[in-house]
């Protein structure tokens, strides 16, 4: 983030948060820095820059506020790590369904699962899996910048909604179809 300092002596401005201090220079982020996000390295830079101040109480207060920001950024980092791990697990589960059932059923003509039946039972799981695989890779690529992570979800919200509306709308029928298939002898051995 690009940080500009001014000696107004009365405030410290960080993003949209305003914290009052005595003769410490104010710090404001320009438009470029707020778009890029505020990182842990920015906090370290600000801590280093404040170390030369002669006003020890102001320096302590300034560093305490930076410590709070640093804690919050670390917490955001943990949340992003958890999202990445959850996404990885979800992609693995979807891939297991595709490899263990969909691909196997498509290869076996005697299974009785034509493409219409596949769509009725599995709806759009393959599309969901492809989307989440891509999302997982994108999360890995931008995990160090919380604003990029947020933008990733904002950018994909419509696609997510469309896919899951389709899946959830078809789910009750999918269960009925699966129960029907499971109750018929020719399909019992295929579904095991």
Average pLDDT score, the chain: 77
Average pLDDT over residues 119-142: 97
Structure confidence at residue 35 as a pLDDT band (50, 70, 90): very low
Structure confidence at residue 41 as a pLDDT band (50, 70, 90): low
Judged by average pLDDT, the poorest of 46-60, 85-99, 112-126, 138-152 is 46-60
Site of tokens 């059932």? 101
Q: What is the pLDDT of residues 72-111, one digit of tens each?
A: 888 999 999 999 999 999 999 999 999 999 999 999 888 8
The answer on pLDDT for 148 being more than 90 is yes
Question: What's the pLDDT score for residue 24?
Answer: 35
Q: State the DSSP string of 25-41.
A: PEEEE-HHHHHH---HH
Could you tell me the pTM of the whole model? 0.66
Q: State the DSSP string of the chain.
A: --EEEE--SSEEEETTEEEE-SSSPEEEE-HHHHHH---HHHHHHHHHHHTT-S-HHHHHHHHHHHHHHHHHHHHHHHHHHHHHHHHHHHHHHHHHHIIIIIHHHHH-GGG---HHHHHHHHTTHHHHHHHHHHHHHHHHHHTT-HHHHHHHHHHHHHHHHHHHHHHHHHHHHHHHHHHHHHHSHHHHHHH-
The answer on pLDDT for 132 being more than 80 is yes
């Amino acid at each position: 983030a690009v940080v500009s300092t001014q000696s107004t002596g009365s405030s410290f401005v960080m993003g949209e948060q305003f914290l009052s201090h005595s003769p410490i220079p104010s710090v404001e982020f320009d438009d470029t820095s707020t778009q890029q996000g505020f990182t842990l390295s920015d906090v370290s830079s600000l801590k280093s820059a404040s170390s030369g101040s002669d006003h020890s109480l102001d320096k302590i207060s300034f560093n305490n506020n930076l410590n709070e920001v640093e804690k919050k950024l670390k917490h955001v980092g943990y949340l992003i790590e958890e999202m990445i791990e959850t996404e990885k697990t979800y992609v693995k589960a979807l891939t297991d369904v595709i490899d263990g059932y969909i691909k196997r059923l498509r290869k076996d003509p005697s299974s009785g699962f034509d493409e219409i039946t596949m769509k009725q039972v599995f709806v759009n799981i393959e599309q969901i899996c492809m989307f989440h695989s891509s999302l997982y890779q994108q999360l890995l690529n931008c995990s160090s910048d919380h604003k990029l992570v947020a933008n990733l979800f904002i950018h994909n919200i419509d696609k997510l909604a469309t896919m899951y509306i389709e899946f959830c709308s078809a789910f009750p029928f999918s269960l009925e179809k699966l129960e029907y298939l499971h109750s018929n002898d020719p399909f019992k051995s295929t579904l095991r």
